[in-house]
Structure 1
Amino acid sequence: MWLSYPNQLFLTNLIPHKKLCYDIMDNYPYFRKIRFLKHQLDVMHRKLIDRVDLIFVSSTELYKKLKNKKNIYVIKNAVDMTLFNPFLKYDIPSELENLSRPLVGVVGYVGHWIDLEIIYRSAKIHPKWSFIVIGPIHRNINKYKVDNLYFLGEKKHSELPKYISFFDVCIIPFIKNELTHKVNPVKMFEYLAMNKPVLAAQTEELKRYQDYCYLYSGFKEFESYLNKLIKNPSVKKICNSFLENNSWKKRGKTISTIISKYAK
């Protein structure tokens, strides 16, 4: 049985199974800001870790936290290269059609770990640029209202390539904390597959990708990189082998091989 979140612990007593697999995609307890809820999630998380037969983690930083556990494998995020294809011709989405260029974009869940302040400050400095945020919004954004900062809400995953294709710079504006330091962001691979320059917060996990992303620490460095990339939107060296090695097709084969060893 495949489990992917701590609150699925109760399923282990309800559904008959031969083996249990826990897919740990994030440092789950730190999704919660309220101490009691964080503790509750942590308890379920630890119980699942002790109960399952096989564990997958999505980042090296998550692995370091659990490396003393048995049967744990690092399966990082990846990209569907058929969907995120930079060589296709995309029609510009209606929401972007009349916006002033350049376009600075971020795609993802807008939770407490996203640094909206850094986007807001940059948008105020560059009123002729357009800053685009795509993704479900799960926090108050009223204080970040400025004319050139656009919250477009959630889009279907299949629609994301056409939006990203018109971005001049793609950003990953994480607030650095116990959650984000252990995130291996899937959007990084999708941005890179679309041949876009990526400007990302320098988290512990993202330091491993400094050959592919421009990493910043603080607003001053964010602004410096962003200005350079707008003037010269150069993509760091991306070879086909990097994208091929980080495709979901390849990840699926790896997962299948591992599971087959435990399914007997």
Structure 2
Amino acid sequence: MWFLVQTPHPWRGIRQRPHHLMAWFARRGHRIHWVQPRYLRWLVERRRDFLEARREEPLPGLTVQPVTLLNGERLPAVRRCNRSRLARALGAGSGGGEEAGPRILWLYNPHESHLADAVPHDLLVYDIMDEYRGFPWSPPRIAEEEAELLRRADLVFAGTHALHEAKRAMAGGRVECILSGVDRELFAAAGGHGKAEAAWRTSPAHQAIRRRARRLAGYAGMIDQRLDQSLLRAAARALPDWEFVLVGPTVGELARLRGDPRIHLHPPVRHEDLPWYYRAWDAALLPFVESELTRHINPTKMLEYGAAGTPIVARALPDVARFYADGAWLYREPEEFLAHLREIDLLPPDAPAPRQRAALQWAEERGWDRLADRMLAIVEEMLARRRPH
């Protein structure tokens, strides 16, 4: 099969659901044509990226094609130009004939239903990761545009139970709830056995962190409006033995975090290096506010934290409470957050708590390989039903 993938996520950015799924599809022998937009203002501001952003094949069978778009999509002429460029870029990856196999148009942008008319395909899939109305940058008509894509898609994969419940009534085709997964082998490598243990103890991350604090709580991911800045500031004041490190790209106003000497903003690290950071922490955090956006997420980092064996303190968001209550310290109020960190401070260092053992089991059951194979089986089943008998 040929997967024609349109996503706003750059291949070399933070590894998210699309990256893991398409990498596994490629490993299973399918061809992936990944089209990622880059807007003209980025090229003006980052000329080196413009010169280097060429078509590449980071994995066997997976091609990444950047496509340059214009700003100002509210103007009809700009919108028509951008849509035409996206369609041409996606169409260029279809293999050039029926002998290449079925073409799966796989979309992540909720406002790209127009591609269904412009790109030849055998199956239209919408893999929904977030409640996009909750992002501050979402265009005004995002709800109407997503409703159109849901209506037209042959198959919708919802990455969270909350999204599945919210979107299935609007879908015109089949809807499946497929939660995100974890790279079990990568994150379990930090679990404290043999060479992995030695690598962790000698890693620069571990040594630098332990020079700063007796106890360290960490978060990895986008550092943006989802984080509860007031909670983190209050925890830094109330827990003198703890410091807090936030690893990842920063987006938006973060003045309350930058002003505290015991809250450290760390630049993004390679996905392959994250396990050693997790293992160096005494607690791994999901310190989100509750909002329209966060009420519909099922964070992949819960599985990554769990696979690394690090105690997890997380806000009891709907999907988090539904799927992870047995393996994490969940909170709804700031006092509970502080109490959980104090409890974790008293855990014996060499004996995993029952919650940690439960979190390790999540990872065993939710590897990306199993989830990707399940999704492929559903796609193949739908294609088989469409073939003439």
TM above 0.5:
yes
Q: Is the 8 A contact 1:22 1:56 kept in 2?
A: yes
Q: How far is 1:66 from its partner? A: 2.2
Aligned length: 261
- Out of 157, 174, 177, the position equivalent to 1:74 is 177
Counterpart of 1:262 in 2: which secondary structure?
helix
Matches of 1:204 and 1:256, distance apart in 2: 27
Q: Tell me: higher relative CO, structure 1 or 2? Use CA pairs within 8 A at least 6 residues apart.
A: 1
Query: What code does the residue aligned with 1:228 have?
Result: E
Q: Residue 136 and residue 95 in structure 1: after superposition, are their counterparts in 2 closer, same or farther (change >3 A)?
A: farther
Retained in 2: the 8 A contact 1:9–1:48? Answer: yes
Aligned to 1:151: 265
User: Match of 1:30, as an amino acid?
Assistant: G
Counterpart of 2:345 in structure 1 is: 230
Letter in 1 for 2:293: L
Aligned mates of 1:122, 1:65 — CA distance in 2: 34
Mapped partners of 2:354, 2:243: distance in 1: 20
1: distance between equivalents of 2:376 and 2:118?
A: 25
Structure-2 change in CA distance of 1:15 and 1:31 (3 Å): same
Q: What's the counterpart of residue 118 of structure 1?
A: 231
In structure 1, C-alpha distance between the alignment counterparts of 2:377 and 2:311, rounded to whole Å: 34
Q: Look up the match of 1:5.
A: 109
Match of 1:201 in 2: 315
> Is 1:30 aligned to residue 134 of structure 2?
yes
Greater fraction helix: 2
Contiguous gaps of at least 5 residues in structure 2: 1-104, 385-389
What's the counterpart of residue 372 of structure 2?
252
Aligned to 2:154: 53
Structure number with larger C-alpha Rg = 2
After TM superposition, list the pairs within 5 Å mapping 1:149-188 onto structure 2. 149-188=263-302
Question: What whole-Å deviation, never above 9, does each CA across 1:162-196 have from its counterpart, x for those lacking one?
Answer: 11110000110111122111110000000000011
Mapped contact 2:246–2:264 kept (Cα < 8 A): yes
One-letter amino acid of the structure 2 residue matched with residue 47 of structure 1: E
Is contact 1:244-1:250 (8 Å) kept? no
Correspondence 1:210-225 to 2 at 5 A: 210-225=325-340
Scaled by the length of structure 2, the TM-score of the pair is 0.64
In structure 2, relative to structure 1, the CA distance for the partners of 1:240 and 1:143 (3 Å cut) is closer
Q: 1:8 to 1:230 in 2, by over 3 A?
A: farther
Paired residues of 2:168 and 2:175 also in contact (CA < 8 A): yes
What TM-score comes out, normalization by structure 1 length?
0.92
Distance 2:360 2:247 in 1: 27
CA–CA distance in structure 1, aligned partners of residues 382 and 236 of structure 2: 51
Determine helix, strand or coil for the equivalent of 1:12: helix
Cα distance, 1:32 vs structure 2: 2.3
2:120 to 16, 25, 42: 16
